[in-house]
Structure 1
Amino acid sequence: MNKALIVIDYTNDFIADNGALTVGEPGQKIESAILEKVNQFHQEQEFIVYAVDIHEENDPMHPETNLYPPHNIRQTKGRELYGKVKDQYDMIKQKSHVVWLDKTRYSAFVGTNLDLILRERGINEVHLVGDVTDICVLHTAVYAYSLGYKITIYKEAVASFDQVGHEWALRHFENALGATIK
């Protein structure tokens, strides 16, 4: 095991039609690609991290408070994984190669022990899926790059609110971070 799949923020608030900060249809369209990647990594016994945004209700100190409506509030349905990704997680969550990671910033590495978890397992390669391509996926990729990880992004398994931002981020992953785009 030297690689990890990181499933970023695939929650009801980001994906469901009535989500608090929804990507909507573009996010819903990537569900099967995410399921396919999770299934592949699970079958190969490779490490899988569900990196999920968490916020406290009415937190005036969080930097996103002034940027976005409240979303992914602790212990709400909005913070639960979306659709079949939740069903799949529920089936594999007890496995030793599957980890849930609460994150409070765009990057899954900032303010978490993700780097330590990966290094302890000898992981030097991260594969990213989820949303939002040009926000949380981007910031996770930038930190992964800075920490020396090899990066793969699955273009059919990431989505954004903004198609222009999505396409820019895909170019940035490849051109500025040396990521493999599949």
Structure 2
Amino acid sequence: MKALISIDYTNDFIAADGALTTGIAGQSIEEEIVNVARTFIEQGDFVVFAIDAHQANDQYHPENKLFPPHNIIGTKGQDLYGALKNLYTINQSNPQIYWLNKRHYSAFSGTDLDLRLRERNITEIHLTGVCTDICILHTAVDAYNLNYKIVIHQQAVASFDITGHNWALKHFQNTLGASII
């Protein structure tokens, strides 16, 4: 069984005025990220929207030393971006759709994601979203350590940093044994 984990495709990471935007790189994958999600939904597969979720003024979160405030819970910045938001809104009552607030880079860190996947007998995860070399990477490493088969949709991932993006794609394949499609 397989699942899609769509990571951090939110206004703060994608919109031109987002707090921590990938800009054109993130915007350019919109059509593909929506197509992949739509396909998984139509096939009845489990689809997880793993979304960065921060508290305003959280002085203890380590990301606050590295990045400006972003994806604050309940703000427009944490909303899904563009057509992906529309797809989610139409399908959010589907029991195969799961919204997962995550506090760390990895969708597995401090969440019930592994439990949700295992109770559905899922052994293969497909990853889309941003940032290839941060949240996608950390999620993939955790998935590898939990013995999931990993598939990266190359045309549906992006980053702020093209060098980091390209390095992560090689790392997924050469070090984690992921399939890049």
- Short-chain TM bin: over 0.9
SS in 2 for 1:99: strand
Distance in 1, Cα, partners of 2:93 & 2:28: 27
* Structure 1: stretches of 5+ with no match in the other structure: none
Distance in 2, matches of 1:72 and 1:42, equals 25
Aligned length: 181
Cross-structure match for 2:129:
130
1:96 aligns to what?
95
Deviation digits for residues 89-147 of structure 1, max 9, x if unmatched?
00111101100000000000000000000000000100000000000000000000000
* Aligned match of 2:11: 12
Which residue does the alignment assign to 2:52? 53
**TM-aligned CA deviation for residue 43 of structure 1:** 1.1
The TM-score, its normalising length taken from structure 2, stands at 0.99
Q: Supply the distance in 1 between the matched residues of 2:38 and 2:68 (Cα, whole angstroms).
A: 33
Q: Which residue of 1 aligns with 2:178?
A: 179
Structure 1 Cα separation of the partners of residues 74 and 33 of structure 2: 24
Among all aligned residue pairs of Structure 1 and Structure 2, give the percentage whose two residues are the same amino acid.
Answer: 57
Q: Secondary structure at the match of 1:169?
A: helix
What residue ranges of structure 2 are gaps of 5+ in the alignment?
none
Q: Please tell me the root mean square deviation across aligned C-alpha atoms, in Å.
A: 0.4
1:74 maps to 73
1:156 aligns with: 155
SS in 1 for 2:127: strand
Q: Take 1:41 and 1:78, find their aligned partners in 2: how far apart are those partners?
A: 25
Q: C-alpha separation between the residues in 1 aligned to 2:81 and 2:22?
A: 12
Calculate the TM-score normalised by the size of structure 1: 0.99
